A and B are shown apart, each in its own frame.
Chain A
Amino acid sequence: MKAERPPRPHLEPLPYAQVGEIVGLLEVVHDQGDRTNLFALASRLRLEFGLAILAVKAAEVLDLAETPRQEVLLTPLGRAFVAADPNERKRLFHRQLRAIPTFAYLADMLRRAPGMRLPAEIIEEELAMHLPGEPTESLFETIISWGRYGELLGYDPDAREVYLDVESTATEGARP
């Protein structure tokens, strides 16, 4: 199988934060009036600073927060996310994922693949090739967990195949 490759894009690594941490961070910042100092936040929550940075950076990659100097503030989109119900949050997250080059690239790759699915190894090879300095396993796990939450990518752990999650996003709530 040799799908025609799009021009090589600039793939970016992702901050290895869990979706739950990102959402929790947004809610905490919202509770502080949509803006807070990062050091103060980490110390008040007794949260390891490195983990706080990862969650903040992840929110920034998704355009849900910005970090001028040591401040964290919610973007208009971040405020909309906090106010939204769980399903609307997922739709918003889905849209944001598509704007991230790494996800856009993988989604495109999958769209060209037969049945819109590819073995996990092919995705991992692709990531390793583009981002040789990154731990591929962590990157892959992050991509799958964000992708599943945003219902952009699916992963079948029995077949070890990644696929484009077309049904759930196209037809809300009508999964088999």
Chain B
Amino acid sequence: MAYNPAVGATASSGALVEVRGVTHRFERDGHDLVVLRDVSLAIEAGEVTVVLGPSGCGKSTLLRIMTGLIAPTSGEVLCHGTPLHAVHCGAAIVFQSFALYPWLTVTENIGVGLHRTAIRGAEAAERLRRVIDLVGLEGFEEAYPKELSGGMKQRVGIARALVGGPELLCMDEPFSALDVLTAESLRSEVYGLWTRGDLGLQGMLLITHLIEEAVFLGDRIVIMGTNPGTIRELLTNPLPHPRSISPMHQR
């Protein structure tokens, strides 16, 4: 797993994030719904972990628990070995629905990713410029989300996640709202961002329901089953890097 050169010097001890024996329940229409049951999983540095499962298996809930957006009903969440009681400060999320502010321009939307950091002024401007360049959004800086295609919107989502320099990039079905061709091009760009290794990213967590996507991007594939959400299988993907040919079309 040593192909990602970003890992090593700065990696501190313990998994980037780990859940132990996590169970989560929702109350819905007076019914007690078990979304996750006894899930244990560690996201390690230096690899892309893909959580693969059908809709309703609780994989998005798992991502929200791992990033500290919601607290599990029971079980432990650890960040570098210490219990996580707030939002995971080293993690950033890319959402399926893009989640952009319609009244902000592309640059302003990306800048939201810096709000929780102490980065301001000239350094903020420099970071924005660099991340806009990285994701290919030059020329779109002043555009509003409504002017953008889905692919460009998700580029904004990715740039907003990367601008603060997270150690863990979490993506919840990031290509599922895009047409197949756009998804294809963006998927290989995300792979390129990860493998370039100079962004300070330590690990990536991807949630998907597409087997091909999991195989293309994942180093470790976590297969989840539904009702309630449990881990059925943990696989190591032996395909070597770089994976230049997309498996999406080798049927």
Contacts and interface: CB of A to CB of B under 8 A. Distances in A.
B181 A47 contact: yes
B198 interface: no
Interface residues of B, number: 35
A28 B133 contact: no
B181 A55 contact: yes
Given A19-B149, A20-B150, A45-B180, A157 B143 contact: yes
A63 interface: no
B183 A175 contact: no
Contact of B139 (A23, A31, A150, A157): A150
Contacts of B27: none
A106 to B, nearest CB: 15
Interface stretch (A7-15, A68-76, A128-136, A141-149): A141-149
Nearest to B151: A20
Interface string B129-156: 1000111101111111001111110000
Contacts of A5: none
B251 interface: yes
A165 interface: yes
B245 A31 contact: yes
Most buried by A among B134, B182, B183: B182
Interface string B182-203: 1111101100100000000000
Contacts of A157: 142-144, 147
Contact of B182 (A24, A87, A90, A168): A24
B246 interface: yes
A18 B251 contact: no
B186 A20 contact: yes
A156 B200 CA distance: 33
Given A28-B249, A157-B144, A157-B147, A175 B182 contact: no
Nearest to A149: B139
A44 B248 CA distance: 10
A27 B181 CA distance: 9
13 contacts: A20-B178, A20-B185, A21-B151, A21-B182, A27-B246, A47-B180, A86-B189, A86-B192, A90-B136, A151-B138, A154-B139, A157-B142, A165-B139
Interface of A: 18-25, 27-28, 31-32, 44-47, 51, 55, 86-87, 89-90, 141, 144-145, 147-151, 154-158, 165, 168, 173, 175
Given A21-B151, A21-B182, A24-B181, 20 more contacts: A19-B149, A20-B150, A22-B181, A24-B184, A25-B181, A27-B246, A28-B248, A31-B248, A31-B249, A44-B251, A47-B180, A145-B147, A145-B152, A148-B140, A149-B136, A151-B138, A154-B142, A156-B142, A173-B129, A175-B141
